[in-house]
Amino acid sequence: MFGSGALKGLRVTLREFVSTYVDDIKRIPSRYAGGREEIDQSSAGEQHGLFTIQYPEEHRKLPERFRYIPILIYDAETGEDRCTACGICAKVCPPQCIWIVRAKDESGKPVTRPAEFCIDTTICMNCGLCAEFCPFDAIKMDHNFEIATYDRMPQLLFDLKALRVPTTHYAQIRPGDWAAEQAARAAKEAEKAARDAERAAKASQQSSA
């Protein structure tokens, strides 16, 4: 039939149009009652109606691997920084937006922690190379992309205080990666313990002989 494709398209459009208002009615008053609701759009085939999000009252549920501004991880229990100020992240950064100053002790000797750590978010390209090359898992990519300000400087120049987050924050935004890293770390520690036990057993046998 001539024009059947156009009629089919209009039927789909009308169905989704009606579904949008049905979905709004079902979710009253949660959608407009204040607060901030997270909308999961990861499975587009299971959704109905328009895919418009009422930002900022609503926001998309971000994928776990979503990356934006880098953050520095510190241990939530001890407060110890993972960063040793080795400078590898600054060397591999394509736009060169990372500046690091290593801390010093009372005698002026450099120590393995940063005294200053700055990232210029206005030129950061969110590539994640700093996190990929960090040998101590000290840098991770955050999910927070809402960093707009009225003044570019110094608000968008993130210092050490703004970049430091606990391990609990990283575990919350990227639970899969956190679990994998913890499992790998536990396996490495178990392997080291087994090697140490084997060496101790050999030393004991040699001493007894």
Q: What are 105-117's pLDDT values in tens digits?
A: 888 899 999 999 9
Residue 86: partners with Cβ closer than 8 Å, 6 or more residues away:
112, 135, 136
Domain of 114 in residue numbering reads as 70-185
Could you tell me if 129 and 166 lie in one domain? Answer: yes
CATH at residue 172: 3.30.70.3270
Could you tell me if 56 and 74 lie in one domain? Answer: no
First to last CA, the chain: 97
Q: What are 63-86's pLDDT values in tens digits?
A: 888 999 999 999 999 999 999 999
Could you tell me if 90 and 173 lie in one domain? Answer: yes
Could you tell me if 103 and 171 lie in one domain? Answer: yes
Which has the closest alpha carbon to 98: 83, 115, 118, 112?
A: 118
Could you tell me if 131 and 171 lie in one domain? Answer: yes
Residue 169 covered by a domain: yes
How many structural domains is the chain composed of?
2
Residue 180 covered by a domain: yes
- Whole-model pTM: value is 0.71
CB atoms within 10 A of CB 139: 24
pLDDT tens for the chain, residues 1 to 209: 677 888 888 888 888 788 777 766 776 666 556 566 777 766 544 556 666 777 777 787 888 889 999 999 999 999 999 999 999 999 999 999 999 999 998 888 999 999 999 999 999 999 999 999 999 999 999 999 989 888 888 889 999 999 999 999 999 999 999 999 999 989 999 999 889 888 888 888 877 76
What the block records as the tokens of 84 is 């040793």
